[in-house]
Amino acid sequence: MSDHQVGKIKAAIVGASGYSGEELLRLLFRHDQVDIVCVTSRQYAGRPVGDVFPRFTGLDLNFSSPSIDEIAESADVAFLALPHGVSAEFAIPLVEKGVKVIDISADFRLKSTEKYLEYYNAEHPAPELLKKAVYGAPERRKEAIKNADLVACPGCYPTSITLPLVPLLKAGLISSEGIISSSMSGVSGAGRKVDLPFIFPECNESVRPYGVVGHRHLPEIEQELAEAAGVDDVAINFIPHLVPTNRGIHSTIIAKLKDGVSADQIREAWNSSYADAPFVRVLPAGRLADTKNVTLTNYCEIACATDAHTGNVILSSAIDNLTKGAAGQAVQNMNIVFGFDEKAGLL
Ligand SMILES: NC(=O)C1=CN([C@@H]2O[C@H](COP(=O)(O)OP(=O)(O)OC[C@H]3O[C@@H](n4cnc5c(N)ncnc54)[C@H](OP(=O)(O)O)[C@@H]3O)[C@@H](O)[C@H]2O)C=CC1
Ligand SMILES: CC(=O)N[C@@H](CCC(=O)OP(=O)(O)O)C(=O)O
């Protein structure tokens, strides 16, 4: 038994005043094996957490703005809930100082530095560290995550798209060509900031696509699908939409079925791939996924319908973008890294 299985670990939440940070607070406060020792925010440093998030009123914890050395001295694990680019600045020294890093940003998700430059308009800040980072999809990388010093948590849209598609590509039930995902996200996906297109009157009573060509999640999704299909490249259409809800992502994915493949075979492939995946819920025939059934949970529900008319399968998946799409998956990864029950703090 490792030391961590007998005692509590100390966690820092870096970027705790944002939406992913708030969700980490909610989940880690109720985690029996974790003590939150440090919650960072530049703008709210010195103020009680309950001042900024009234639902935490009464908790004896203040925001602070410590140096990276101070974070490393106080914590066994650091969750980075920071904008991409900034996250790497923290990850590099923290990993060097032996702190386990669970990064929620996009900085270490892409294996290709060329793709990072193309989609994030910046040279990758730490190509050497990128080689050590493990893409933290617990359903397919659990063994690698166990030994990781740096876990790159998958993006929210990519989580909702890869969970239904990967087992089907691996089993050769669908073609890797011509996949389309039309996905919808609640407004918290854009972060906790004041920005005109995201204020209430602009989003309410509105459904709008954005980033329909070349969204920054595209190379991440394609990287994971190509690996599953066992090919060098996969090209998909990914069409995100902003919808007037606070939380939740729904993806409707269309893929070409291989000859003779039935909906039952699709569900069988999912059930067998996800037999040991506590947070994937395969829905029975006749049901499709619904964000309201996963809100504030770490579940991803997946469902399918086959269409004999076109020979396509229509996949439907739903997650809470802040839980399975961000903080919940991060806690799931922390549980795996430290040898805790994968579900701890998440049910
Ligand atoms: N929202 C979502 O649904 C998802 C978000 N993510 C990713 O998680 C990360 C956080 O996202 P989200 O919670 O939405 O973001 P928010 O904008 O809500 O919060 C960002 C946090 O980072 C802190 N911060 C910003 N700039 C700096 C800086 N230069 N130095 C130190 N701290 C800084 C802010 O605190 P302060 O300004 O007070 O210092 C704040 O706590 C991003 O990389 C995002 O892409 C991933 C999956 C889903
Ligand atoms: C609604 C909205 O704006 N969503 C964000 C994605 C959410 C997010 O932060 O993406 P990561 O998972 O990469 O961190 C976007 O489209 O860029």
pLDDT, residue 207, reads 98
Q: Do 25 and 125 belong to one domain?
A: yes
Phi-psi region of 39 (alpha: psi -120 to 50; beta: other; left: phi over 0): beta
83 Cα nearest atom in ligand 1? 43
Q: Do 132 and 185 belong to one domain?
A: no
Crossing angle between the packed helical segments 156-170 and 263-273, to the nearest 10 degrees: 110
**Diameter of the chain measured on Cα atoms:** 63
203 as an active site residue: the answer is no
181 domain residue, yes or no? yes
69 domain residue, yes or no? yes
pLDDT, residue 3, reads 47
Our answer on whether the CB atom of 65 is closer than 6 Å to any ligand 1 atom is no
- Ligand 2 centre to CA of 264 (Å) is 33
45 Cα nearest atom in ligand 1? 38
pLDDT in tens, 186-225: 999 999 999 999 999 999 999 999 999 999 999 999 999 9
DSSP, collapsed to helix, strand or coil, labels residue 31 as coil
- Ligand 2 centre to CA of 52 (Å) is 23
342 domain residue, yes or no? no
Percent of the chain with pLDDT strictly greater than 70 = 98
pTM, two decimal places: 0.97
In angstroms, the CA 269 to CA 149 distance is: 32
Q: Which residue has its alpha carbon closest to ligand 2 atom 11?
A: 155
The confidence band for 54, taking pLDDT boundaries of 50, 70 and 90, is very high
So what's the ipTM on this one?
A: 0.98
pLDDT, residue 1, reads 35
- Ligand 2 centre to CA of 189 (Å) is 5
Crossing angle between the packed helical segments 156-170 and 138-146, to the nearest 10 degrees: 100
Q: Where do the DSSP E strands lie in 32-179?
A: 34-40, 63-64, 77-80, 100-103, 134-135, 150-152
302 domain residue, yes or no? yes
pLDDT, residue 180, reads 98
346 domain residue, yes or no? no
pLDDT, residue 270, reads 98
Q: Do 184 and 66 belong to one domain?
A: no
347 domain residue, yes or no? no
Of the listed ligands, the closest to the CA of 245 is 2
Q: Do 216 and 267 belong to one domain?
A: yes
Q: CA angle at residue 268 from 266 to 274, to 5 degrees?
A: 100
Residue 189 has which token pair? 């996906």
pLDDT, residue 2, reads 43
Distances 347 to 54, 270, 278, 297 between C-alpha atoms, Å: 23, 22, 10, 8
pLDDT in tens, 103-133: 999 999 999 999 999 999 999 999 999 999 9
Residue 276 CB contacts under 8 Å (≥ 6 apart), including other chains = none
Pocket test of ligand 2: the residue of 22, 157, 323, 324 to mutate, having most ligand atoms within 8 Å of its CB, is 157
pLDDT in tens, 1-38: 344 555 799 999 999 999 999 999 999 999 999 999 99
Q: Do 206 and 69 belong to one domain?
A: no
Q: Do 34 and 181 belong to one domain?
A: no
The radius of gyration of the chain from alpha carbons, rounded to an integer in Å, stands at 20
Number of domains in the chain: 2
**What average pLDDT does the segment 76-100 reach?**
98
| 8 A C-beta contact, residue 248 and residue 289 | no
pLDDT, residue 7, reads 78
Q: Do 170 and 286 belong to one domain?
A: yes
CATH number of the structural domain spanning residue 168: 3.30.360.10
Pocket test of ligand 1: the residue of 20, 92, 194 to mutate, having most ligand atoms within 8 Å of its CB, is 20
- For residue 53, the enclosing domain spans 3-153+325-337
- Ligand 1 centre to CA of 1 (Å) is 35
Q: Do 184 and 253 belong to one domain?
A: yes
In angstroms, the CA 330 to CA 328 distance is: 5
345 domain residue, yes or no? no
| 8 A C-beta contact, residue 239 and residue 182 | yes
Query: Residues with Cβ within 6 A of ligand 2?
Result: 105-106, 155-156, 185, 189-190, 217, 240, 242
Q: Do 229 and 276 belong to one domain?
A: yes
Q: Do 329 and 316 belong to one domain?
A: no
Q: Which residue has its alpha carbon closest to ligand 2 atom 8?
A: 189
pLDDT surpassing 70 at residue 67:
yes
- Ligand 1 centre to CA of 246 (Å) is 16
CATH number of the structural domain spanning residue 123: 3.40.50.720
pLDDT, residue 209, reads 98
Return contacts of 232-238, CB within 8 angstroms, 24+ apart: 234/176, 234/177, 234/179, 235/177, 236/179, 236/180, 236/181, 237/179, 237/180, 237/181, 238/157, 238/161, 238/181, 238/183
Q: Do 13 and 112 belong to one domain?
A: yes
344 domain residue, yes or no? no
Q: Which residue has its alpha carbon closest to ligand 2 atom 17?
A: 190
Q: Do 102 and 38 belong to one domain?
A: yes
